[in-house]
């Protein structure tokens, strides 16, 4: 058994190689530990058989390209460092990804339509970012991947976002520059290459669109749209230029797809670039209504925080707030730009300790007085539901239940939406995660000038961590639809939760009242 001499090596006095996790034509990839900052990363080395100046320059350009693209899109693997080891072999450092290759997923079974639409959208978002380009020598240069295929797509599981797609291996990507005088040669994978790529012509985004079409057909049917007699360049050249793609019905007679989707995939497979969708943005626009129709349930990225298993995290007593916070709440005045009505909105509360997250609520005076007088019977539910698609949106949910007041009408629900593509929404979400609590300011309809009562609500550590993650992730997430659609999705999820939450609030409050009466 041969021992890999790279294992255990320390690069740049920082990255310790642990395990070989992959190898290809361009080089090897190792799992490593960042002993300076902590955490697991991946290190890619250029193959020793390619240590000429041209390949070194290409490898360095790949690192630079991925570093820029990874900062712009969460759907492209992120590169964080570049260097040369003590044997003069270049390497770069990237995020360590765990998940399944799209090729492995396809080999298991064809992908159901809702899942396909989610994965295809994310792939298109990554391509859209690459095609929009990176800054090179002061000018924006588009990036064409040139090797879009299932094995270059990794699907991982994110706690808040569900399935996350990452496009890998920009190793044969090339900067598209107007003054390029390089002789073009074929690079790519034969079965997924566009006709113009087989010819070695200068490529644009439409070549990646063709490869995407081949891959989308395979994702939906489990089979290839085109088949060559032999796996030779000549055989595939003939196929891509002259063979018509087989129909979805021929590939899988039992498969039922929307005709508009079949037409979209077939248009991506057009022989002439001008007959295809002209950009990843065009494909996204075609996919959007399909995803809204067929996969609404997959857009919701949320945690219900184990209502039954961990009731104390959600169905809790109001927190006791410090005197300083209590004084700040008491002095709060209803904003002049808000109507005198039973509404709920989010707005920071300014204190000497800085801004505090708060929801402002107007209720009938009798209800507020009941919550004050019978506060021992108050039970609070709080939760945060997030949908990143089609538009990043957070639903901040608070409900207060008091048996002595609300037995007939149930909990008082106080939902509040935060648009995560606005600075206000991102800031409030960040504050919630950092402060670990928020204030519920209650104003009476009859005397709305000043706050009548305030309730402090604690946020458990796991929720705080999730909120911070959403605040960061939403900054780079691309909106693909109207905010109102995300609101509708989140509202529907809340309606599903309400019966169970109401039942638990009532049960929890009843147990508390029995305990209080026994005392």
Residue finishing a domain among 52, 70, 96: 96
Q: Which residues pair with 143 in a beta bridge?
A: 175
What's the pLDDT at 323?
A: 56
Catalytic residues: 147
CB 118 within 8 A of CB 148: no
Contacts made by residues 487-493, CB under 8 angstroms, sequence distance 24+ = 487/393, 487/395, 487/417, 489/296, 489/299, 489/300, 489/387, 490/300, 490/385, 490/386, 490/387, 490/393, 490/395, 490/417, 491/395, 491/415, 492/296, 493/300, 493/302, 493/385, 493/395
At 74 the pLDDT is: 82
C-alpha span between 175 and 183 (Å, rounded): 14
Q: Is 345 helix (H, G, I), strand (E, B) or coil?
A: strand
Locus of tokens 């976002």: 161
Contact 473/160 with Cβ under 8 angstroms?
Answer: yes
Q: 116-160: per-residue pLDDT in tens?
A: 998 999 999 999 989 988 877 788 888 888 889 998 899 886 644
What is this structure's pTM? Answer: 0.57
Strand partners, 383: 397
pLDDT tens for each residue of 443-459: 999 988 889 999 999 99
Whether 473 and 382 map to the same domain: the answer is yes
State the number of CA atoms in the 13 A half-sphere of 40 facing the CB: 8
Tell me, what CATH number does 110's domain have?
1.10.510.10
Beta bridge partners of 28: 23, 45
Rounded alpha-carbon distances, angstroms, from residue 151 to 95, 157, 420: 18, 17, 33
- Residue 369 shares a structural domain with residue 385: yes
Looking at the fold, whether 431 and 502 belong to one and the same domain comes out as: yes
DSSP 182: P
- Note whether 512 and 398 are same-domain residues: yes
- pLDDT tens digits, one per residue of 23-60: 776 778 889 998 887 788 889 888 877 788 888 888 88
Residues of the chain below pLDDT 70: 1-2, 25, 157-162, 171-188, 294-326, 405-408, 509-519
Q: Which domain holds residue 370?
A: 300-518
Domain co-membership, 171 together with 47:
no
133 and 269: one domain?
yes
pLDDT of residue 492: 87
| φ, ψ of residue 55 in degrees (nearest 5) | -75, -35
Q: Quick one: 43 exposed, middle or buried, by C-beta within 10 A (0-12, 13-18, 19+)?
A: buried
Shared domain check, 425 and 306 = yes
What distance in Å separates the CA atoms of residue 390 and residue 482, rounded to the nearest whole number? 7
How many domains, the chain? Answer: 3
Total length of the chain: 519
pLDDT of 199 = 85
Residues 5 and 22 in one domain: yes
**C-alpha pair distances (Å), 373 with each of 44, 369, 377, 457, 489:** 65, 6, 9, 18, 37
Show Cβ contacts of residue 331 under 8 Å, excluding neighbours closer than 6 positions.
450, 451
Q: Is 230 found in the same domain as 290?
A: yes
Domain end point (choices 294, 315, 341): 294
Quote the strand ranges of 99-235, DSSP E: 100-101, 134-136, 139-141, 143-144, 153-158, 162-167, 174-175
pLDDT at site 183: 38
End of a domain among 96, 112, 144?
96
Please state, as a whole number, how many other Cβ atoms lie within 10 Å of the Cβ of residue 34: 17
Based on the fold, state whether residues 428 and 468 are members of the same structural domain.
Answer: yes
- Return the ∠ at Cα 287 (arms to 283 and 291), rounded to 5°: 160
Residues 440 and 510 in one domain: yes
Looking at the DSSP bridge assignments, the partners of residue 418 are 394
Same domain, 126 and 243: yes
- What is the CATH classification number for the domain harbouring 34? 3.30.200.20
């Amino acid at each position: 058994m041969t021992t890999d001499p790279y294992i255990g090596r320390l690069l740049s006095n920082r990255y310790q190689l642990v395990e070989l996790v992959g190898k290809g034509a361009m080089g090897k990839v190792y799992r490593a530990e960042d002993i300076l900052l902590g955490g697991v990363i991946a290190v890619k080395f250029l193959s020793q058989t390619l240590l000429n100046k041209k390949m070194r320059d290409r490898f360095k350009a790949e690192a630079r390209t991925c570093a820029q693209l990874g900062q712009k899109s969460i759907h492209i693997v992120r590169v964080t460092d570049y260097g040369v080891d003590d044997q003069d072999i270049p390497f770069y450092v990237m995020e360590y990804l765990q998940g399944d290759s799209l090729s492995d997923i396809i080999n298991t079974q064809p992908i159901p339509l809702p899942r396909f639409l989610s994965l295809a959208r994310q792939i298109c978002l990554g391509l859209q970012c690459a095609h929009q380009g990176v800054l090179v020598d002061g000018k924006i240069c588009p990036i064409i991947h040139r090797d879009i295929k299932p094995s270059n797509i990794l699907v991982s599981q994110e706690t808040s976002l569900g399935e996350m797609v990452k496009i890998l291996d920009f190793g044969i990507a090339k900067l598209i520059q107007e003054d390029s005088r390089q002789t073009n040669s074929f690079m790519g994978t034969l079965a997924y290459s566009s006709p113009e790529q087989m010819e070695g012509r200068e490529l644009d985004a439409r070549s990646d669109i063709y490869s995407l079409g081949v891959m989308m057909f395979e994702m939906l049917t489990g089979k290839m749209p085109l088949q060559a007699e032999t796996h030779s360049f000549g055989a595939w050249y003939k196929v891509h230029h002259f063979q018509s793609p087989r129909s979805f019905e021929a590939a899988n007679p039992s498969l039922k797809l929307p005709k508009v989707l079949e037409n979209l995939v077939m248009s991506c497979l057009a022989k002439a670039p001008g007959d295809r969708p002209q950009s990843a943005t065009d494909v996204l626009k075609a996919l959007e209504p399909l995803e809204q129709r067929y996969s609404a349930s997959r857009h919701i990225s949320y945690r219900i925080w184990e209502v039954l298993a961990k009731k104390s995290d959600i169905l809790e007593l109001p927190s006791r707030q410090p005197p300083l916070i209590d004084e700040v709440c008491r002095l709060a005045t209803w904003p002049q730009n808000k109507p005198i009505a039973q509404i709920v909105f989010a707005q920071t509360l300014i204190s000497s300790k800085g801004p505090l997250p708060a929801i402002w609520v107007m209720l009938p005076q009798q209800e507020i007085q009941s919550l004050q007088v019978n506060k021992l019977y108050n039970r609070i539910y709080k939760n945060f539901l997030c949908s990143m698609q089609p538009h990043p949106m957070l639903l901040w949910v608070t409900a207060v239940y008091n048996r002595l007041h609300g037995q007939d009408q149930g909990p008082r629900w106080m939902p509040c939406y935060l648009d995560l593509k606005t600075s206000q929404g991102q800031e409030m979400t960040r504050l919630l995660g950092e402060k670990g609590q928020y204030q519920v300011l209650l104003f009476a309809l009859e005397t709305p000038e000043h706050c009548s009562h305030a309730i402090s609500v604690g946020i458990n550590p796991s929720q705080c961590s999730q909120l911070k993650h959403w605040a960061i992730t939403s900054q780079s997430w691309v909106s693909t639809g109207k905010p109102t659609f995300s609101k509708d999705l989140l509202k529907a999820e809340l309606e599903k939760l309400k019966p169970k939450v109401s039942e638990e609030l009532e049960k929890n409050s009843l147990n508390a009242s029995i305990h209080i009466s026994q005392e």
